[in-house]
Structure 1
Amino acid sequence: MNKAAQLYWEDYWGEQETPQLVTAWQFGASPDKLAQLVIEGTKTATCSAHMLYELENEPIPSINEYSILLSSIDEPVAMIKTTEVTVVPMNEVTEDFARAEGEGDRSYTYWWNVHEEFFKNELSAIGKEFSEDMLLVCERFELIDVKK
């Protein structure tokens, strides 16, 4: 977590007992636009390729974990709390989840096309191949705070 995110975290909690589970990150594609969708209440879910967690030796997110959303210049913009985590093949992601991602026209078709392109690019960059049944870590979250 960078210094700005750490200060935001500490300022938000003040003298209260601070939860232990916290990360700071930006959305992979269009961080500012996607963070704004969270702030507006349109985006309440996100997903990532499971294999990236394995390759980076990172734990998958967990329920009640807090995340500080960072802008494209790594400045904190908001805080969310994970409410649900599932690992499912991409071709089994539901229309409801696709809608909760809040992007484009919020249709399943839009979600599929954007995510297929994104994952193809991300995986190609590390020498991996996209497949329609690749595992995704699907998270739902609630907005906790917007940085003033």
Structure 2
Amino acid sequence: MKKISLILLALIFSCKDNTATNEKALISVVNMWRAYVEANPKLEKKDLPDSWYFHDNKSDANRLGKLVASGKKKAASGLYKWYKDANADLPKVGTKHIITDFDGEALAIIEIRKVDTMPFYKISKEYAALDMGTSENALEKWKKVHWDFFEATLKESNDEPSKEMLVVCEWFETVWPVDAVEY
């Protein structure tokens, strides 16, 4: 995927944002990647992955980042329309990302394990639990939170959500929590 497409997609939809903008945050991202590569020497020639946070506000970004770092959040959802409108490729299995808090401080490294596209109404309670980081009323919570978020973003382009709208579902694994890094 072209880097410009990723950045455009992130900026347009505010779900993922390149957050390593201040020096302290950038240092935390670089140090986390460096520590991960030192522990996994076969990755030595890999470039620093993109860093970003979930959602569009500090409270949710920080809460979701902590769920990722703890290994409780194992999935992410976006609209297929966003990728199509940005002419961007869907996420690729094996891709790594550095998840940050809202201020750009590195929290975890994730690796995408599976990607699928399905209609909103077909999201399972198992998938919703992985995305929400909890099994307590996961599907109901997932539907409410994502419907509201998708509705708000679609409104910006004069579109409306539907139960048939395609959702890009990413399953991921937290491969490096910040707790494992000694600075």
Normalising by structure 2, we get a TM-score of 0.71
Judge which range, 61-70 or 100-109, deviates more: 100-109
Given candidates 137, 146, 151, the residue that maps to 1:120 is 151
Given candidates 118, 126, 150, the residue that maps to 1:96 is 126
Query: Which residue of structure 2 lines up, in the alignment, with residue 8 of structure 1?
Result: 32
Q: Is the 8 A contact 1:21 1:65 kept in 2?
A: no
1:19-98 maps to which residues of 2 (within 5 A)? 19=46, 22-29=49-56, 30-98=60-128
Q: Is the 8 A contact 1:62 1:85 kept in 2?
A: yes
Query: Which residue of structure 2 lines up, in the alignment, with residue 131 of structure 1?
Result: 162
Percent identity (aligned): 24
Which amino acid in 2 is paired with 1:70? T
Structure-2 change in CA distance of 1:69 and 1:106 (3 Å): farther
Count of matched residue pairs = 148
Which amino acid in 2 is paired with 1:72? F
CA distance in 2, matches of 1:61, 1:22: 13
CA distance in 1, matches of 2:148, 2:167: 14
Structure-2 change in CA distance of 1:58 and 1:22 (3 Å): farther
Q: Which has the higher contact order (CA 8 A, sep 6+)?
A: 1
RMSD, aligned CA: 2.2
Per-residue deviation at 1:7? Answer: 4.6
Higher gyration radius (CA): 2
More helix by share: 2
Normalising by structure 1, we get a TM-score of 0.86
| 2:171 matches 1:140 | yes
Per-residue deviation at 1:133? Answer: 1.0
Secondary structure, aligned partner of 1:47: strand
Per-residue deviation at 1:106? Answer: 4.2
Specify every segment of 5 or more residues in structure 2 that has no aligned partner in the other structure, as ranges.
1-17, 21-25
CA distance in 1, matches of 2:31, 2:85: 30
Judge which range, 97-106 or 110-119, deviates more: 97-106
Q: Is the 8 A contact 2:70 2:177 kept in 1?
A: no
Which amino acid in 1 is paired with 2:88? E
Specify every segment of 5 or more residues in structure 1 that has no aligned partner in the other structure, as ranges.
none
> Which ranges of 4 or more aligned residues in structure 1 deviate by more than 4 Å?
none
Per-residue deviation at 1:44? Answer: 1.0
Per-residue deviation at 1:124? Answer: 1.3
